[in-house]
């Protein structure tokens, strides 16, 4: 390929270089007796060694000592053998045993990897463990010295494309004078049909990131870029004046197409994208031209097609990246950064777009989608997704290989049997994912992701944001991460974790393990024999047959909702019976809150200060020991508080069963009620006119704000009307009216107090005394009525009624 310097041409061609590199392991070591997880470990290794060990039982960890001199080292931890360690977790300690680094899933698959730069010779301890200390199995720990080179950012590689290469060539940067949304004329008349097809699609690939259109039919207008195929090889030249490209010429010969193919998944198509990049002002990704060898001609470590289509090095030419050989189908991340530098930031594709198999994102992405759907062609291409807004989806559902997908901007993913073949441009946020049918490892980003696994055994991590994760078929591991997430297991025996948000965690058809964390979570076991762990926070469990709840002490105020007969386990506070089936519910020693359904339930609070709600149906509520509150709800309910100070929320038709010496109890009622045997107190609720009757105990009766009728009956009662025009009845004992109001309230006095002989109100008042600011009527035989706050007996003349 060639590019120009002003009016003179500079020849340049892409030549593939052979793969070089490799290393030799110094020793293959094996664990005998269990390695200590401390500086007391008896095992050590050197750079170049491989240490093979085994973690057993679950939660085990091994430490290995190593001394390293100045340099850069790669430390890897992977499962091995027939019983490999699942999800290895790598920690690095300094000579004092203090952790200095850790990694999870940074290596191949679920393997872990740390790249360590050592400036001064030091001793370290490497810990081989598992994620969350949950797993056991065999592992392989390797340490090897590496030549890190210099890894450039995509912006830095972009600067090489726009400026660095041209400075190397002795000229300056260049670009067309065209604004965003503008157009450049192109002339494809000199190409064969096959060449025109490739060139046209390559132009579309650049349109998908540039925000500039290419006019393929300019009429009589002057062409900015002219294509031909008459000359040998592939190159581009440009006429440049003062940094402005006046015109460019692209040649890709017919023999080039004969050698490298005419389909889109070929080096010929990649060549057209490359040469158009030159025509638009991009140089090479390194200071080379015509031929280059990786390890000799590259000036930084990550110079490859994975970063830029303008590189001379394929993914396998570059020995420092982990990527499979694949032809490039789009501008890559550094190319996009460079073009934005030359032509400004585009605002294309700001709506809701789909990338991958069912794309709606434009012609070049549609070509990629057709190749991905075709199992004969899809596994040899790579591309970058560039998007500027909306809620977008990556669709990889037809892939049966094990995927590793990362939705973070600037990330690189593995799919369709390849490594490092799908990139997401920096600044591009993809919210949703349909993963494939293999055993996939998936990471979300900080957006509100919707991620759906396929048929394999997937691990999905939502990370930040309010995510929706769905494992689908297979035995999946789903980790919601930060935010308020909805996590669904689907089929298989799934393991579900959350973080500190208020999450909804749903098992599926298998025997699932669901672990909440610090937030207020809602957990559904669904089918299967599930293990549910809410963690801290106020959690709600939906439980069916076979489920087991492990709730720790001080784990918040938790609730079980179920359609089964249920006994609350340790550290569980609340129970709600759902469905319309007659069920029994049993509390525990905590202060339980128990709710029935619309059927005839029996709720037993047992010990603790419980609150029992019957709701519909004819329920039986038994508080047990502790200060309980019993609310029958609709229906004819039986309420039994037990042996402490209980509260009964009474409705008409309820029966209260209170034992002798069962505490000081309260009835709260919204309609006329007589205090049941062995119950002391009554509070009238609501706004309706009510009658309240005491019993032979010392009652405290309190009205509402309506016009109440209050009769303490026998015993020494305390009567309070509150608002309204109340009628108080006195017939026995030592009663007190606390809030009498003149000309509103009425006091009815039973003449049986003096044997029924006629007496007038004046006679009653004449016998009344004012004692301590209160009016006191003394009827003898220990029967007195005290009206608090009344200091002038005369005001009672019109308020007394003798009955």
Distance CA 700, CA 710 (A): 11
Distance CA 522, CA 519 (A): 9
Contacts 24+ apart (CB under 8 A), 729-735: 729/803, 730/777, 730/785, 732/783, 733/698, 733/782, 733/783, 734/782, 734/783, 734/784, 734/786, 735/784, 735/785, 735/786
Do 340 and 346 form a contact (C-beta atoms < 8 A)? yes
For 131, the token pair is: 């994620």
Distance CA 633, CA 619 (A): 9
Distance CA 504, CA 523 (A): 6
Distance CA 308, CA 285 (A): 7
Average of per-residue pLDDT across 689-699: 97
Q: What pLDDT is stored for residue 379 in this prediction?
A: 63
Do 768 and 775 form a contact (C-beta atoms < 8 A)? yes
Q: What pLDDT is stored for residue 242 in this prediction?
A: 95
Distance CA 62, CA 519 (A): 32
Distance CA 765, CA 778 (A): 10
Q: Which residues are catalytic?
A: 275
519 pLDDT tier (thresholds 50, 70, 90): confident
Residue with tokens 């593939």: 16
pLDDT tens-digit readout, 574-628: 999 999 999 999 999 999 999 999 999 999 999 999 999 999 999 999 999 999 9
Q: Is the pLDDT of residue 258 over 60?
A: yes
18 pLDDT tier (thresholds 50, 70, 90): very low
Average of per-residue pLDDT across 780-794: 96
pLDDT tens-digit readout, 594-609: 999 999 999 999 999 9
pLDDT tens-digit readout, 354-406: 999 999 999 999 999 999 888 776 669 999 999 999 999 999 999 999 999 99
Q: Is the pLDDT of residue 332 over 70?
A: yes
Q: Is the pLDDT of residue 409 over 90?
A: yes
DSSP structure class, residue 484: S
Q: Is the pLDDT of residue 237 over 80?
A: yes
The two most distant CA atoms of the chain are separated, in Å, by 136
Q: Tell me phi and psi for residue 791, to 5 degrees.
A: -105, -10
pLDDT > 70 in the chain, percent:
96
Q: Tell me phi and psi for residue 797, to 5 degrees.
A: -55, -45
Do 496 and 473 form a contact (C-beta atoms < 8 A)? no
Q: Is the pLDDT of residue 526 over 60?
A: yes
Burial of 734 (0-12, 13-18, 19+ CB in 10 A): middle
Residue positions counted in the chain: 803
In sign, the C-alpha dihedral spanning 413, 419, 422, 425 is positive
Q: What pLDDT is stored for residue 5 in this prediction?
A: 34
Q: Mean pLDDT lowest for which of 50-59, 101-110, 169-178? A: 101-110
H or E element at residue 200: helix 193-210
24 pLDDT tier (thresholds 50, 70, 90): very low
DSSP structure class, residue 753: G
17 pLDDT tier (thresholds 50, 70, 90): very low
Q: What pLDDT is stored for residue 108 in this prediction?
A: 86
Q: What pLDDT is stored for residue 107 in this prediction?
A: 87
Q: Is the pLDDT of residue 22 over 50?
A: no
| C-beta atoms surrounding 739 within 10 Å | 16
Average of per-residue pLDDT across 293-315: 90
Average pLDDT, whole number, for the chain? 92
Average of per-residue pLDDT across 794-799: 95
Query: Residues 648, 651, 654, 658: what is their CA dihedral angle, to the nearest 10 degrees?
Result: 20
Q: Is the pLDDT of residue 309 over 50?
A: yes
pTM of the shown model: 0.74
Q: DSSP letters along 221-268, please?
A: SPPSEEEE--SSSEEEEEEEETTEEEEEEEEE-HHHHHHH-SSSSSHH
47 pLDDT tier (thresholds 50, 70, 90): very high
Helix, strand, or coil (residue 313): coil
| Residue 317 CB contacts under 8 Å (≥ 6 apart), including other chains | 16, 17, 18, 19, 294, 304
pLDDT tens-digit readout, 701-741: 999 999 999 999 999 999 999 999 999 999 999 999 999 99
pLDDT tens-digit readout, 161-203: 999 999 999 999 999 999 999 999 999 999 999 999 999 999 9
Q: Is the pLDDT of residue 148 over 70?
A: no
């Amino acid at each position: 390929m060639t590019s120009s310097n002003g009016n003179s041409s500079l020849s340049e061609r892409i030549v593939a270089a052979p793969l070089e590199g490799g290393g030799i392991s110094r020793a293959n070591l094996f664990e005998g007796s269990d390695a200590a997880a401390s500086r007391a470990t008896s095992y050590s290794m050197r750079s170049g060694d491989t240490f093979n060990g085994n973690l057993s039982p679950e939660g085990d960890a091994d430490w290995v000592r190593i001394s390293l001199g100045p340099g850069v080292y790669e430390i890897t931890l992977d499962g091995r053998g027939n019983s490999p360690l699942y999800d290895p977790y790598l920690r690095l300690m300094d000579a004092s045993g203090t952790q200095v680094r850790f990694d999870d899933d940074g290596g191949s698959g679920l393997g872990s990897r740390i790249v360590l730069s050592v400036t001064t010779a030091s001793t370290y301890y490497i810990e081989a463990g598992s994620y969350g200390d949950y797993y056991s199995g065999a592992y392989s720990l390797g340490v090897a010295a590496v030549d890190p080179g210099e890894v450039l950012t995509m912006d830095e590689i972009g600067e090489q494309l726009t400026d660095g290469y041209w400075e190397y060539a002795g000229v300056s940067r260049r670009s067309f004078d065209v604004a965003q949304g503008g157009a450049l004329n192109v002339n494809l008349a000199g190409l064969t049909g096959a060449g025109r097809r490739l060139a046209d699609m390559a132009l579309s690939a650049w349109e998908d990131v540039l925000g500039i259109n290419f006019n393929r039919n300019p009429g009589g207008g002057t062409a900015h870029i002219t294509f031909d195929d008459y000359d040998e090889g592939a190159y581009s030249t440009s006429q440049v004046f003062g940094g402005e490209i006046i015109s460019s010429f692209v040649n890709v010969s017919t023999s080039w197409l004969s050698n490298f193919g005419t389909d889109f998944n070929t080096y010929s198509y990649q060549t057209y994208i490359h040469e158009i990049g030159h025509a638009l002002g991009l140089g090479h990704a390194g200071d080379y031209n015509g031929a280059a060898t990786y390890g000799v001609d590259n000036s930084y470590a990550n110079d490859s097609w994975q970063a830029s289509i303008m590189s001379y090095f394929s993914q396998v030419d570059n020995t420092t990246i982990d990527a499979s050989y694949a032809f490039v189908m789009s501008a890559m991340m550094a190319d996009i950064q460079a073009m934005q530098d030359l032509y400004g930031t585009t605002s294309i594709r700001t709506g809701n777009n789909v990338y991958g198999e069912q794309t709606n994102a434009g012609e070049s992405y549609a070509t990629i989608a057709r190749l991905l759907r075709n199992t004969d062609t899809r596994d040899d291409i790579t591309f970058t997704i560039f998007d500027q807004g909306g809620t977008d989806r990556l669709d990889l559902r037809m892939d049966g290989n094990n995927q590793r997908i990362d939705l973070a901007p600037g990330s690189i993913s593995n799919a369709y049997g390849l490594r490092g073949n799908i990139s997401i441009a920096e600044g591009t946020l993809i919210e949703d994912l349909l993963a494939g049918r293999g055993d996939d490892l998936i990471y979300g980003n900080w957006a509100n992701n919707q991620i759906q696994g396929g048929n394999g055994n997937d691990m999905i991590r939502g990370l930040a944001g309010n995510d929706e994760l769905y494992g689908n078929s297979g035995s999946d591991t789903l980790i919601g991460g930060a935010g308020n997430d909805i996590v669904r297991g689907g089929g298989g025996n799934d393991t579900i974790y959350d973080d500190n948000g208020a999450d909804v965690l749903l098992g599926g058809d298998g025997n699932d393990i669901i672990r909440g964390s610090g937030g207020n979570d809602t957990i559904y076991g669904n089918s299967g024999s599930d293990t549910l762990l809410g963690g801290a926070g106020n959690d709600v469990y939906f439980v069916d047959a076979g489920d087991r709840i492990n709730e720790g002490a001080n784990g918040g105020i938790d609730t079980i909702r179920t359609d089964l007969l249920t006994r609350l386990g340790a550290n569980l506070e609340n129970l709600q019976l759902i469905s319309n089936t007659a069920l029994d519910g049993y509390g525990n020693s905590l202060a339980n809150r128990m709710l029935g359904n619309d059927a005839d339930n029996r709720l037993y609070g047992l010990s603790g200060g419980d609150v029992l709600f019957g709701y519909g149906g004819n329920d039986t509520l038994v508080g047990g020991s502790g200060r309980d509150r019993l609310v029958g709800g609709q229906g004819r309910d039986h309420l039994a508080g037990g042996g402490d100070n209980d509260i009964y929320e009474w409705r008409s038709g309820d029966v209260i069963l209170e034992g002798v010496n069962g505490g000081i109890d309260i009835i709260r009622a919204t309609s006329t009620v007589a205090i049941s045997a062995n119950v002391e107190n009554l509070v009238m609720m609501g706004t309706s006119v009510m009658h309240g009757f005491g019993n032979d105990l010392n009652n405290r009766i309190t009205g509402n704000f309506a016009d109440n009728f209050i009769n303490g009956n026998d015993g020494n009662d305390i009567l309070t009307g509150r608002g309204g025009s109340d009628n108080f009845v006195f017939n026995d004992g030592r009663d007190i009216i606390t809030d009498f109001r003149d000309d509103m309230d009425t006091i009815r006095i039973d003449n049986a107090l003096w044997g029924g002989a006629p007496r007038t109100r004046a006679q009653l008042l004449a016998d009344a005394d004012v004692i301590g600011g209160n009016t006191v009527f003394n009827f003898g035989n220990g029967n007195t009525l005290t009206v608090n706050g009344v200091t002038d007996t005369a005001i009672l003349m019109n308020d007394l009624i003798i009955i």
